[in-house]
Chains A and B, each alone.
Chain A
Amino acid sequence: MNFFERLQELDRRWIYLIVALAIIIPLVVPFNSKTYTTEPTEKMYQLIDSYSGRSDRAVLISFLHDASVMPELYPMEIAILRHCFERKIKVFTITFTASGAPIIDLALNRVKEEYPEIKSGVDYCNFGFKPIILPIVLGMGENIATAIDTDAEGRKIATLPIMKDITNYNEMNLVVETSGSAAGGYWITYARVKFGVNVAIGVTAVMAADEFPYLQSGQLTGMLTGLKGAAEYEKLVDVFAAYRDDSHPHGRPFSSEILREKDTDKLVNITTQDNAVFTTQEYQNFLNKYPTAAAILDKIKKVKDGSVMIKVTDLTQDQKDQLGNDAWTALKYQTHNIIYKFKTARIGMNAQSIAHIMIIVFIVIGNIGYFINRKKQNLAK
């Protein structure tokens, strides 16, 4: 029995074990890999971002799925919510499946932990579970407060501060539906045709092929495809919405040029970053802004290749207290460390890449073995 014959006889459980290892190892030992953003993701990001700071614009996210597809869709929802909270974009959430309701709560709470200033009913509103889809989709075209009536917390929608300047799809001008099946179907057929609302979707990779025709025809403004789409959106949020400097205190607008810049890569490292890196000028500006920090930071700073580096893990609790909350937050930001919940899709894509390479190798070896064996059998005849 030659190598290829043995391979074809291999117990499938060995394959499962190899697949498991190919996924576990890249997760436990993360590495920085490039995430290339695609046009459908960028378009969706840009449209949402264009609502930044506007009281007369809002985004509706429809969670049309249950827990079974969460690994693909949940990171998208987290990334979109984070984008809205970072850029002060009004956001509504809704679900038409009972099992989608706890997922909305989970997503909102997970993102809100990092944004204590964001308030329910003011910056976002959860419409919760609504059992009947069509009257809601059509009703919101006339008046959202009438169609929805009460939110998930039982409050009258019309009385909430978030509804100021928001009446119908003219203001809540983008619906993003995340779904593991026919994402966006009702919105494209009813809300878009009748009221002209923009529709974007986040779908599981399985469903993406079915949705591309709607993207090509322009019926969908944007689309996030599975874990890859989520990873792309996470990156865009890190590069633009979560970016901070003196001239951009609340993030910066999207720019293709910035995405292509080399320096951008250091904003999206998914490995743990504990070195706050400044140029000399940036460090001086930092000290000018937080003069009391000089006494602490000058002692532990290291200068290398014209950059000032401060290892934030070297600071004691006392030193952090002396710095004060604002200076400590600004110093931590300078590490560009991304917390786990905001990079899960990118960490997952590392494992995805390794698993794909492994599957391709299996397919190639399997095919070589098949052709060799077939040739052997033909010769034997």
Chain B
Amino acid sequence: MISFETISNLVAAFFTLCIFSFLYKDNPFYQFAEQLLVGVSVGYGVVYTYFRVFVPYVWQPIVLKHQYILIFPVIIGLLYLFRFSKNWSWLSRYPIAWSMVMVGMGVPLGMHATVLVQMRSAMLPLDNINTVLIFIGTIAVLTYFYFSKAHTGLYGKFTKIGVWYMMIGFGASFGLTVMARISLLIGRIQFLVGDVLHLIK
């Protein structure tokens, strides 16, 4: 008897091949798989959100537990939907205003986590080659983005070092991106060759 796992693997394999067929050229199989993915994702999201968000956080507390105070945040949240109306779209600004609470909270903590600590870690004693390289790189890149002075002469040469630093950074990012994309392909091929064809031991 064919197991559920076998059937689901075969369906997944079929759609994987449909998507891969785009590498040859655009075709109806690819279009079908792509649009089905969008549809399934939205369908899954709607159903999951209904059961895991609406029911436990809205329906149960208000209707079953009679926590009527929660009606107010629900109404404020629903105001977002007025975004679609030309005349009433201004109402959607109220929930946005509420979200500013989070922004207010995030500013001091975010300033600490992403600016102050980063600055502190860039101000290290120049006692090894790494910190010296970081120091030169930080200054050189910052000067490259200072456009109130022409990049000529000695200053221009120094900003060129900043360009080199950035190029090395972009190269590293490119290398990591290639690795990531190949990894995704490996994952799919591992599925096709291993889970479906059982050729990987």
Contact = CB atoms under 8 A, between A and B. Distances in A.
Interface in A99-158: 99, 101, 128-129, 131, 134, 150
B18 to A, nearest CB: 16
Contacts of A188: 113
Contacts of A228: 179
A16 B193 contact: no
A194 B184 CA distance: 36
Contacts of B109: 189-190, 193-194
B94 to A, nearest CB: 18
A129 B52 contact: yes
Given A72-B184, A217-B117, A27 B194 contact: yes
B76 to A, nearest CB: 14
B102 A134 contact: yes
Contacts of A69: 184
A225 B173 CA distance: 12
Given A189-B113, A192-B113, A206 B180 contact: yes
A10 to B, nearest CB: 15
B180 to A, nearest CB: 4
Nearest to A186: B106
Interface in A347-369: 347-348, 351-352, 355-356, 359
Given A69-B184, A356-B178, A347 B190 contact: yes
Contacts of B117: 217, 219
A18 interface: no
B193 A27 contact: yes
Interface stretch (A35-43, A169-177, A208-216, A300-308): A208-216
Interface stretch (B42-50, B83-91, B139-147, B154-162): B42-50
Interface residue range, chain A = 35 or more
Interface in B83-138: 102, 105-106, 109-110, 112-114, 117-118, 120-121
B36 interface: no
Interface string A193-214: 1100000000011101100010
B179 A351 contact: no
A101 B113 CA distance: 29
A297 interface: no
Interface in A214-248: 216-219, 225-228
A98 to B, nearest CB: 4
Interface string B189-201: 1100110000111
Nearest to A26: B186
Contact of B176 (A194, A209, A217, A359): A209
Contacts of B179: 205, 226-228, 352, 356
B172 interface: yes
B151 interface: no
B96 to A, nearest CB: 16
Contacts of A209: 169, 172-173, 176
Contact of A272 (B24, B121, B188, B201): B201
Given A205-B176, A206-B177, A340-B194, A351 B45 contact: no
Contacts of B114: 189
B187 interface: yes
B57 A205 contact: no
A226 B200 contact: no
Contact of B200 (A19, A27, A218, A225): A27
Given A27-B190, A226-B183, 7 more contacts: A20-B185, A28-B199, A101-B48, A205-B176, A272-B201, A348-B187, A355-B182
Q: What are the 5 closest A-B residue pairs judged by CB atoms, nearest first?
A: A71-B187, A217-B121, A205-B180, A98-B48, A227-B183
5 contacts: A27-B200, A71-B183, A98-B52, A204-B183, A351-B189
Interface of A: 13, 16, 19-20, 23-24, 27-28, 30, 68-72, 74, 98-99, 101, 128-129, 131, 134, 150, 188-190, 192-194, 204-206, 208-209, 213, 216-219, 225-228, 272, 340, 344, 347-348, 351-352, 355-356, 359
